[in-house]
Every structure is written in structure tokens, then in C-alpha cells.
Structure 1
Amino acid sequence: MTCVIAQRPLRVIASIADVITAIADVTTSIVDVIMTIKTDYGLVTTEYGQLQGYLRSFQRHQVAAGHALRPVNVFLGVPYATPPVGSNRFSPTRTPSPWRGVRSAMQPGRVCPQQLPPLEEADALRSMPRAVFERVLRLRGQLANQSEDCLYLNIYAPAHRGADLYPVMVYIHGDSYLWSSGNLYDGGVLASYGEVVVVAINYRLGLFGFLNTNVERGRARVTNNGLLDQIAALHWIQENVQEFGGDPDKVTLFGHGTGAACVSFLLNSPAVVTNLFHRAIVMSGSSLSGLSAVQDPAQYAVALGRRVGCPVPGDLRLDHELLVDCLREQNAERLLAADVGGYQFLPTFGPSVDGVVVQGQVRRRVRKNHGRVYDLMFGVAERDAFTLLSDEDVRGGVDAARRDRLLRTFVRNSYCYSNVEIFYSIINAYTNWSSPRRHAAALRDETIAALSDAAFVAPVTADAELHAPAEPVEPVGRDGDSTYFYVFSYERAAGAPSQQAGSVHGSEIPYVFGRPLVQETTGASQFRPEDITISEMVMTFWTNFAKTGDPNRPAPQPPPHLPEKERSRYRAWRLGALRPHLPTVYGYRSEVTHAQSLPGSPGGVLE
């Protein structure tokens, strides 16, 4: 079951089945995509020089049950900024230099320097489920070619040109502020199916993108260079995307996890100019979450300096540049290897208040958006916090003592005041008091529900509420002032162990990018016909929103080939009664996901 609800006005636009069974492999390596037929494509002239990409055909590898995919033009490794190397390390993003001749755009650029999670199995499984660990192992080869010269983007555009320009969807990758790459997310199927131009970008990660030595929160100083990279990419897109068939007046920014938090930061940033982008889809992340912002970034900068032998000034307020200058001279590998400590659940290097890109007191400023107006869609998965548990927690469940340790740690690291009261409120709200025996699996599920609501559902819904217009907008879906909310909880048909039941963090990504529509080249496909239908629906909702600001139009839902008895589960409904039930601090999941909890909701929509 997945519902998308507009906030003021509120309405469900989809019920996408029930629950997902496992963490899907949410990425497709561009380097290893062998479902591609490459042919030379005509040159594209940008503001900085000529590019030559290639034409990709899906004919040989498309599944028979899926929608016919038309070819796309692909341009990989396109530079959007001057390489941040040498004296440019830790500096704001600079525009790229023009090049002479024709630049090949047939291979992706190198990924930014990054710190992968532990790759030793025993250590890794103490902090993540096995499914997450195995995904990291699969991706490490694709993330091995690292360089500080990494500010590149990849473009996927429909090969056929219509009378009008295509909407543009710009993906900000998530996974972590410390690792990942836009190269992992292939936008070809989404571009072909939805007839949109898809752009995936790389941006500086970890200490290279978010080093902040500022100890004065009230003093403005640019430090969020990773966010500035994203802004620079959006400026490049505004200047050049029309040459690829994209409409610079219809740019939708979308991201997942930490990428969604970046989108949320950009929505509220005074550094973003009007009309740089026009819509946004925020998937399982928010700048309001404690998982998204570094509260005391200078402590990690100081720890880093001490680890690599840089002298730390006695007065960091006056002499912080001395520390930055020393770190600028250090070897990148040495910096990445330094252990700066940290706290469970919280980032070490990530966005933080710098007074320029990220300002404090976001809640007070967000409604005005600095004069900008956006169409917005926010959403979560059913069990986003699944990936925060250890493998032992996931497989064997937790006892009451382990549950208390997890929740106490989260509360202590996330809140400054009333920690005891908050902790006991969580225990009271997420304990099934009607059950006389507390089984380990039940305690695990209650812990996941509590952490999911606290770290994802509450901040994401608060973000949606803060951005939603004060009064209902009619007609709904007009450009510039509609806000939607979705819950993704689809269960893949293939089946999986019961401890992984429920849609987890990242479950929707394969469906957003259309992976079920193309056959794997080795072995049987991991997707079933039901997955193909769900992916087509998700891509339709997402690209509808990019085109009109309304996930329901122009393409109608549900797909006409669905059985009649299933069609009522995928219709658009207006559920004004849902808004009072959205959680503001710690929400009860039954009130968010079950229709019987909502007075006046139509039968058959949610299960």
C-alpha cells in the first residue's frame, strides 16, 4: 500500500500494494550496463564546448511485459565546475573552463573521494543488516575510481524530439554524506518511459564537501561546499539543458535519504536564486531530521586536524583558516583514513549551519522560502529505520534492554532537553500493552517503528507541513503551490525472510528508475510482472509531477491493464481527514497507514 496525499489540499493518489520484502539493489552501474547499443550521436554545443554522447537502445534487453521503451541519448562525465583540487580544495564551487574541440561524453567521470562503511564482515554487521553490507560490497568496485576532480554530471534525454521541450528531473544521490555517486543511478529507463530529461550529479562528500571550522554560529562563513556543488550543477543545467531537449523552466529536483535532506536544505537556502528549480520530490529525508545536520561541526574539524598532525589554533574563532590551510596541504588518502569519532545515528561531516547556504532557525524561515514558490512531493518508506539496526538485531530481534539502549542513545544524541520524558513517551507510545509476552521480533518491530517515525516520518511530514500553502489551492495542481505526501510500502512478489518484511529505506528507488523494465543480462530477472506494473505506476506518478506539479496528471492512474478488482486500490482520493493524523513529533503508524483509523475514508483504498 502506498498513498500520496496532498497537504492542504490532502488527497491520496496511489495505493501501491502492501510491503516490500527486502532491500533491493537500488543502483545500476553505468560502466557495467551492457544492455546498451552505442552509436555515435550528433554533437551538442554547450556554453563551454561541444559534447559527443551516444544513443542507447533498450530493444534487446527490455522485458516483454513492460511498456515499449524508445531510445535515449546519453552524455556521461559532463563537467559542470572547475575541479576543486589543489588550492581549490575546501573552496566554493567555480564555473568550468571552456574546452576546445569535441569532448567525448561516453564514460562517467570519477567519483568523489569517500569513506565506505566497514568492509570487514564482522565489523560491518555490528552496525548494519546483511542486505546493506552485501550491497556495499557489490558497489565498492564501481566506487573505486576516486578523485577530487569529480564534479561531473550524467544526462539521459529522449532521442525523439517533439514540438515541446521535455521536463527536467535532477537527481541528488543519497546513501550517505560520506560515500556514493550519481554514477550509480542510471536514468535511461526513467527518461524513456516518462519522456523527461534525467540528470544525475556528483558532488563533494564528507570532509571535502562539508568541512566546517566555524565555532561562531552567528557568523556567516561559506562551508557547505557540497551543497554549493549542487547549486552550481543547477546553474549549469539552466544554461545548457535546452540543447539536450530539456525545458529550463520545468526543473524538478529529487533525492533520496541524505540526497533528500540536501534537497530540503536547498528549498530553504538563501543561496538558491528564484527559478533555479521549480519542483522537488523529497524521498525519506529532511533537513529537519537529526540525521541530516551536523550540530557541532568544528569538533570534527579539530579532531581531523589532530589526527593528521595539523596544529590547532588556540583561538579557532580568529585563526580557523590556519587549520584549513594545513588540511588543504594533506594527502587525500590520509585525510580519509583519519578517525574523527562521532555519535551513533549522527553524521560527522555533512551540512551544518554556516549562515550563508544553511541558516539557523529553518522552521521560522521555511514558509516564505525566500520569496520562492515550489510544487512539492514528500514521502517515506514504511520501515525506513530498518537500515539503522545491526544484523543481529534484524535476524534475532531485540530484548527490552537492547531496545532501551537503542532508543536512549537516539534520544540522547538527538535532543538537548527533557530526554527522560521523551524516552518514556516513546516506550509508552510504541509498546503493545495488550500483549502479555514481549517477543524479541515484536520488540524489534516496535523499535524500528519508533526510530522510523522519529528520524524520518516526523521530520518529513513536518517539512511538508511547513511548505504547504496555508489555504487549499484550487484548481489543485496548478503550477507553484501544491504539496503532496506519499508512503511507499510495496511488497515485492519474489518473497524474502520475514525479518525484512516491509518496505525499507531505498525500496522505492529501483521502481523510480525503472529497473524492473529491463532484463538482467546474467541469470533470471529478480523482478516479477507485478514489479513491472508497480514500476510503471511509480514512474508515471513521478514524471506526472515533474510535468504538471500534480502526480495524477496528465497520464491517468491506475494503468488500464490492471484487473478491475485491483483498480480501486490505485485511484486518486481526497482524504481531508488524514491531515490531523500526520505525526508531528512521534506519530502512531496505524494512524498513518490504515484507512480504518481515519474517519470518513473511502473503503478499499488503503489496506
Structure 2
Amino acid sequence: MATNLRLLFRWLFALLAVVLLLQISGYLSALHRVLRLPSNAEHPVVDLGYATYRGEYVYGRYTRFLGLRYAAPPLGSLRWRSPAPPPVLSGIQQATSPPAQCPQGMLGTRRVNPFIEASHSILPHARRTPVNGDTSEDCLLLNVYAPLDFAGKALPVIVFIHGGGYLGGRGDASGQDLLEESDDGVVVVAIQYRLGIFGFLAGQAIKDSGALNAGLLDQQAALQWVQTHISQFGGDPARVTLWGQSAGAGSVLQQVIANDGKTSPPLFKRSIASSAYMPSQYLYNDPIPEFWYRKVVESAGCSSASDTLSCLRHRPTHELQRVNAEMTGLAMEGTANFVPVVDGSFIKNSPVNALSQGKTNGDAMLVTTLTNEALQFVPPDPRRTIEDYVRGMYPHLSDKNVQEAVQLYSSFGGQYRGTVAVVNESIFLCAAYHLLKAFSGRAWK
């Protein structure tokens, strides 16, 4: 009996020793990650010339800088203008908290496009979205994610543009995932840009006294920032891949065709478009953008001003946020009314024409799509018909063209399925195939 007990205790002690060794091994592994931290600093610090930022080491696994300023706050007289250079800041700036998101809008809530209603002068108020406390016009900021010891490296760079219908979203992409998947082989930049009326209000008044497509110009400024500064985070400015999802992928498309495909110096080498969002893109002074400009002016109480744009620039932020929420909600259900336009300078041609002529920036393109992208934009409303959507999405179409489209899409299995197919193909799939054709031999899907 005593011999058996001694053997039992020996086995128990051996088992405990194994468990203890495994725990020690886990602790050593975690300690190894921590010991990879640069030994000369508790926090990573980068001097960008105009500002010095202090980031953080996260879980001993990667480096993160949040809320780096790439342009001046677009406030007051800087509203609806090209982004200005960031101001010079003294001292060390903390870059450890997520930046405030740009003012947010909403997809449309109306059954009918107000542009094609009999009266354009009276519109019911849209359902308003609450103004988020984490929202500010001072939002031209970006986040950088890099390996722990990034000094002296020259890694490929991924610049990510968020989606949200050009109305919402923020630059909170998780760079950690991309770092882990690449085995610390990339540097990730997630950018923010002006949205809704702040970024995409159009019309002759904007052309005359401001900058059209301000949100796209913000993206270009962020890409220029990457070219200038990313080497200080271990990134190689010659190996930048531009990636976006939904309206972010639509933004990739816009940057691809920007400057007639002759952006100089080049701002990215490759691009990825995941579910590219390409709604109708009108000339900046088309009746539809002009219609929405007038509605914004009316809602802001600027109709009687001799200079309506100056009046808008002098409105307080909270008032413009109210206008933004109200106006975006007035669009036809599931659609966005403040989107890129053909401005004649940055975007010189429609996306379809530019891509068909091969006027593109970048050397290669990867496109991804989903089978039923449009389901989230088309509620199953039995009152809505294919014709409603075709007329609402394309108010300039002739009656003959509308009926041809209705006949074609009626074969998809009923009104709802046909409507989903209209939105799916015209806004998402067509964009994908235009991109693939433009990069023929250099594109993948």
C-alpha cells in the first residue's frame, strides 16, 4: 500500500510539474513579446515636423497612433474648400484615443425621390438622427498601425477608406487584424474624410467660391500625407495599396480616375475595391445637385442671403449637423443624395467614361463583390415597384427607357427581386466590371 501511495504522489508531482512548465512557457512567450518593445522608450514617439505624436504599444503586439492630423480643421471659412495643411503644434501630442467621427448623415427614408415630385418647394421633415457626442467637424484625422519595432523598416502600406454611403462611417478599421494576418508585414493607415453636405454638397455656388468633392480631396490629402510621412512608421511610400469597402471602394474608384488618371506624383501603386458603390454621378451643376443645394440653403435659413455659401459657412456646427441629418433623410429610401460629382478639375469625366478610356491611376486592381449587395438598401415593401426604383434612381431617364428597364427586370421573379436586381447591378456590379475592364490583364476578381 505504501509503495502504491508513493507512486501515486510521484505521478501527481510529475503532472503538476508539467502544468507549471506549460504556464511558465506561456509567461515566457508573453514576456518575449513585451521584450520586443524598443528598449529606449515607454511609448513610441514620432516627430512629423509640424507636430510630435506619442502613440502606444498595444498588448506588446503592435504599435498604434490614433488621431494624427493630416489637414487643418475644416471650420468656418475653410468649409467647402480644399483641405489646408495641418497647423504646427508645439509639445508632444497624445495619439492614444480614437478621433471624433465626422458629422454623420443617413440614407434616405422617402418612398419617392423628391426631385421628381410635382412640387419641389414643400417637403415633409425627415426622421432625424441624434447628433452623436463623438462627432466633430474637426475630423480630418487618421490612424496608423505598425509592427512593434518599426524603425528602419520599409514595409508595404495599406490605406483603408471606410464606407457608409458618403454619409456616415469613421476611420476605425482594425489594423491589428491586418498586422496579424501579414505576420507584422504591413503598415496600416485608416483615414477619415468629410461626409454628407460637409463633404459632397455641390452646385455652381460651390464651384465659384469653394471646392467641389471636398471629401474626395480630403482622401487625396491623406494619401499625400502618407507619401510624406509613412516612412517614419516603417512604411514604404512606393508600395501603397489603396483599399476601401462600399462607399470606401467607390472612393477608391474616384481616386483611380482622379486627374484623368494622371495624378502626379503617384499616390498609390495598387488598389482593392470591396463592394464598390457607384450611384449616379452628375455634373456639378446638373439640376439634381442644384436642387439639393437649394434645399440645404433653405433648411439652414440662408435663402435670403446675398451670398448663400458664405451664409452656410457662418452657421454653427450644430445647426449644419441638423441640416445634414434632415437633408440626407429626405432622399429616396435606401439612396444617398450627397455623393461625388463630375467637377471638371479633380474628377473630369464620369466614372464609366473615364474607365472605358483607360484613364486610371495605379498598376493593378483587385475587385470583390457579394451576390446580393442591395438587400440592405431595398426594404421588402409590397407597395414599391421596379418602376418606382428605376424612376427614383434615374430621374433623367425617358419614359421609354424606364419601361425597357422595367420589362427587363420583371423577369427576375417579381417586383421585389427585380428591384433588388436593379439596385444590385446598377450601383455595385456595374462598378466592379467597369473596373475589371479598365485594368484588363492587371485585375482580379
Q: TM-score, structure 1 length as denominator?
A: 0.57
Aligned-CA RMSD value: 3.4
1:483 aligns with 443
1:273 aligns with 264
* Counterpart Cα distance in 1 of 2:136 and 2:388: 37
Q: Which of residues 191, 194, 203 in structure 2 aligns to 1:204? A: 194
Long gaps (5+) in structure 2:
1-33, 113-128
1:421 aligns with 404
Tell me whether 1:144 sits opposite 2:162 in the alignment: no
- Could you say if the C-alpha distance between residues 258 and 361 of structure 1 is closer, same or farther in structure 2, counting changes exceeding 3 Å? closer
* Aligned partner of residue 320 in structure 2, secondary structure: helix
* Counterpart Cα distance in 2 of 1:291 and 1:353: 7
* Aligned partner of residue 348 in structure 2, secondary structure: coil
Give 1:47 deviation, angstroms: 3.0
1:92 aligns with 82
Give 1:167 deviation, angstroms: 0.7
1:190 aligns with 178
Give 1:444 deviation, angstroms: 4.2
Give 1:177 deviation, angstroms: 1.4
Q: Which of residues 416, 426, 440 in structure 2 aligns to 1:454? A: 426
* Counterpart Cα distance in 1 of 2:386 and 2:418: 11
Give 1:49 deviation, angstroms: 2.5
Pairwise mapping of residues 483-502 of structure 1 onto structure 2 (< 5 A)?
483-485=443-445
* Counterpart Cα distance in 2 of 1:259 and 1:421: 32
Give 1:272 deviation, angstroms: 3.5
Give 1:93 deviation, angstroms: 0.3
Give 1:84 deviation, angstroms: 0.8
* Aligned partner of residue 369 in structure 2, secondary structure: strand
1:284 aligns with 275
- Could you say if the C-alpha distance between residues 74 and 303 of structure 1 is closer, same or farther in structure 2, counting changes exceeding 3 Å? same
Tell me whether 1:325 sits opposite 2:314 in the alignment: no
- Could you say if the C-alpha distance between residues 265 and 336 of structure 1 is closer, same or farther in structure 2, counting changes exceeding 3 Å? same
User: Residue type of the partner of 2:177?
Assistant: V
* Aligned partner of residue 225 in structure 2, secondary structure: helix
- Could you say if the C-alpha distance between residues 80 and 163 of structure 1 is closer, same or farther in structure 2, counting changes exceeding 3 Å? closer
User: Residue type of the partner of 2:269?
Assistant: H
Give 1:273 deviation, angstroms: 2.5
- Could you say if the C-alpha distance between residues 423 and 414 of structure 1 is closer, same or farther in structure 2, counting changes exceeding 3 Å? farther
User: Residue type of the partner of 2:159?
Assistant: V
Q: Which of residues 290, 293, 296 in structure 2 aligns to 1:301? A: 293
Q: Which of residues 162, 166, 176 in structure 1 aligns to 2:155? A: 166
Q: Which of residues 51, 54, 59 in structure 2 aligns to 1:52? A: 54
* Counterpart Cα distance in 2 of 1:212 and 1:402: 29
Higher Rg: 2
2:28 aligns with none
2:218 aligns with 229
Contact 1:344 1:410 in 2 (8 A): no
- Could you say if the C-alpha distance between residues 165 and 207 of structure 1 is closer, same or farther in structure 2, counting changes exceeding 3 Å? same
Tell me whether 1:464 sits opposite 2:424 in the alignment: no
Long gaps (5+) in structure 1:
1-36, 59-70, 127-138, 314-318, 432-437, 473-481, 486-607
Number of positions where the alignment pairs a residue of Structure 1 with one of Structure 2 = 380
Tell me whether 1:337 sits opposite 2:328 in the alignment: no
Pairwise mapping of residues 501-520 of structure 1 onto structure 2 (< 5 A)?
none
* Aligned partner of residue 167 in structure 1, secondary structure: strand
* Counterpart Cα distance in 2 of 1:337 and 1:330: 11
Cα-to-partner distance string for 1:382-440 (whole Å, 9 max, x where unaligned): 110010122xx2xxxx65x6444554445644745611112111113x23xxxxxx7xx
* Counterpart Cα distance in 2 of 1:110 and 1:216: 26
User: Residue type of the partner of 2:343?
Assistant: D
* Counterpart Cα distance in 2 of 1:414 and 1:464: 27
* Aligned partner of residue 192 in structure 1, secondary structure: helix
Give 1:344 deviation, angstroms: 4.1
2:120 aligns with none
1:379 aligns with 368
- Could you say if the C-alpha distance between residues 82 and 369 of structure 1 is closer, same or farther in structure 2, counting changes exceeding 3 Å? farther
* Counterpart Cα distance in 1 of 2:312 and 2:96: 34
* Counterpart Cα distance in 2 of 1:410 and 1:146: 31
Cα-to-partner distance string for 1:22-55 (whole Å, 9 max, x where unaligned): xxxxxxxxxxxxxxx9994231222323211111
Give 1:332 deviation, angstroms: 2.2
- Could you say if the C-alpha distance between residues 333 and 49 of structure 1 is closer, same or farther in structure 2, counting changes exceeding 3 Å? closer
Contact 2:162 2:248 in 1 (8 A): yes
Return the structure number with greater helix share.
Answer: 2
Greater shift, 146-155 or 160-169, is seen at 160-169
* Counterpart Cα distance in 2 of 1:52 and 1:149: 20
* Counterpart Cα distance in 1 of 2:97 and 2:370: 33
- Could you say if the C-alpha distance between residues 140 and 335 of structure 1 is closer, same or farther in structure 2, counting changes exceeding 3 Å? closer
Give 1:163 deviation, angstroms: 7.5
User: Residue type of the partner of 1:456?
Assistant: F
Give 1:356 deviation, angstroms: 1.5
* Aligned partner of residue 268 in structure 1, secondary structure: helix
Give 1:349 deviation, angstroms: 1.5
* Aligned partner of residue 182 in structure 1, secondary structure: coil
* Counterpart Cα distance in 1 of 2:87 and 2:265: 25
* Aligned partner of residue 458 in structure 1, secondary structure: helix
1:389 aligns with 378
* Counterpart Cα distance in 1 of 2:281 and 2:169: 17
Contact 1:224 1:354 in 2 (8 A): yes
- Could you say if the C-alpha distance between residues 188 and 292 of structure 1 is closer, same or farther in structure 2, counting changes exceeding 3 Å? farther
* Counterpart Cα distance in 1 of 2:42 and 2:374: 45
1:157 aligns with 146
Higher relative contact order (CA 8 A, sep 6+): 1
Give 1:149 deviation, angstroms: 0.9
* Aligned partner of residue 153 in structure 1, secondary structure: strand
- Could you say if the C-alpha distance between residues 368 and 244 of structure 1 is closer, same or farther in structure 2, counting changes exceeding 3 Å? farther
Give 1:353 deviation, angstroms: 1.7
Contact 2:162 2:191 in 1 (8 A): yes
* Aligned partner of residue 306 in structure 1, secondary structure: helix
Contact 2:72 2:87 in 1 (8 A): yes
Contact 1:212 1:301 in 2 (8 A): yes
* Aligned partner of residue 134 in structure 2, secondary structure: coil
Contact 1:73 1:159 in 2 (8 A): yes
* Counterpart Cα distance in 1 of 2:376 and 2:249: 16
* Counterpart Cα distance in 2 of 1:365 and 1:450: 23
* Aligned partner of residue 258 in structure 2, secondary structure: coil
Give 1:333 deviation, angstroms: 2.2
Contact 1:222 1:357 in 2 (8 A): no
User: Residue type of the partner of 2:264?
Assistant: V
Give 1:193 deviation, angstroms: 2.1
